[in-house]
């Protein structure tokens, strides 16, 4: 059983994180939800190789804005650190507003969009090396990003009850799948880069 994280299952203090999200919305002059940024930071943290801060931070902060970018950068670093600690302790859970344990009562799509946006930083060759195992671990994210599109393009043969059953199973599995991604990257890196150190470094450059 994973140890209890100081910021709970989300890895961040939600009040503080929501204030950060509001500041980022002002920075972008566009309303972007906290759950989107939570998913984005999770995706950055789960990259198989360290994502240069200037790359991922550059997508988060509009440096031409009047908002104090230095303060926002520090808040983002702290949030990413907390999320990574919760992932390492295997207590992490995505922040879905309204989540009471049932996908019918919450809104996972924005979190999933943020995660998938961040996954564009993952090296393509390593994703290819991870193959079907990575697809299986991230399938719930893909499904809940846009269920209608997924069922139309990938599973149009399923009945309504079968679709609900798949969504129930996927929602329950989603956090566990995220917890397994670092171990999968470790295996892939040992195969693809046998001369590199055995220790897996997550997207922030910290060893898991």
Per the model's pLDDT, the better-predicted residue between 107 and 5 turns out to be 107
What is the average pLDDT score of the chain?
90
The token pair that represents 23 in the structure block: 């500041």
pLDDT-based confidence at 192, cuts 50/70/90? Answer: confident
Q: Identify the H or E element spanning 8.
A: none
| Cβ-contact 197, 154 below 8 angstroms | no
| Cβ-contact 21, 34 below 8 angstroms | yes
**pTM score:** 0.89
Q: What is the mean pLDDT of residues 138-157?
A: 96
Rounded to the nearest 5°, which phi and psi values hold at 85? Answer: -65, -40
**Residue pLDDT, tens place only, 48-86:** 999 999 999 988 998 776 667 888 999 999 999 999 999
Q: What is the mean pLDDT of residues 29-42?
A: 95
Per the model's pLDDT, the better-predicted residue between 200 and 188 turns out to be 188
**Cα–Cα distance, 98 to 118 (Å, whole number):** 23
pLDDT at 15 over 50: yes
Helix (H, G, I), strand (E, B) or coil at 207: strand
pLDDT at 206 over 80: no
CA-wise closest residue to 71 among 55, 50, 57: 57
Share of the chain above pLDDT 70, in %: 88
pLDDT attached to residue 2: 46
| Cβ-contact 2, 91 below 8 angstroms | yes
Residues with Cβ within 8 Å of residue 33, at least 6 apart in sequence: 21, 97, 110
| Cβ-contact 12, 33 below 8 angstroms | no
């Amino acid at each position: 059983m994973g140890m209890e994280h100081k910021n709970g299952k989300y890895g961040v203090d939600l009040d503080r994180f929501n204030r950060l999200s509001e500041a980022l919305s002002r920075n972008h002059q566009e309303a972007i939800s906290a759950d989107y940024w939570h998913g984005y930071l999770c995706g950055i943290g789960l990259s198989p190789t360290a994502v240069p801060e200037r790359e991922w931070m550059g997508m988060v902060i509009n440096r031409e804005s009047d908002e104090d970018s230095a303060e926002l950068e520090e808040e983002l670093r702290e949030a990413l650190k907390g999320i990574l600690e919760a992932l390492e302790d295997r207590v992490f859970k995505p922040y879905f507003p309204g989540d009471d344990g049932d996908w019918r009562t919450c809104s996972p799509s924005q979190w999933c969009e943020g995660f998938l946006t961040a996954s564009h930083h993952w090296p393509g060759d390593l994703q290819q090396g991870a193959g079907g195992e990575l697809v299986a671990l991230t399938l719930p994210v893909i499904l809940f990003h846009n269920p209608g599109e997924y069922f139309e393009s990938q599973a149009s043969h399923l009945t309504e009850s079968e679709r609900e059953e798949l969504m129930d199973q996927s929602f329950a599995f989603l956090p566990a799948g995220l917890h397994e991604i670092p171990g999968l990257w470790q295996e892939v890196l040992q195969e693809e880069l046998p001369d590199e150190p055995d220790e897996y470094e997550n997207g922030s450059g910290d060893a898991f």
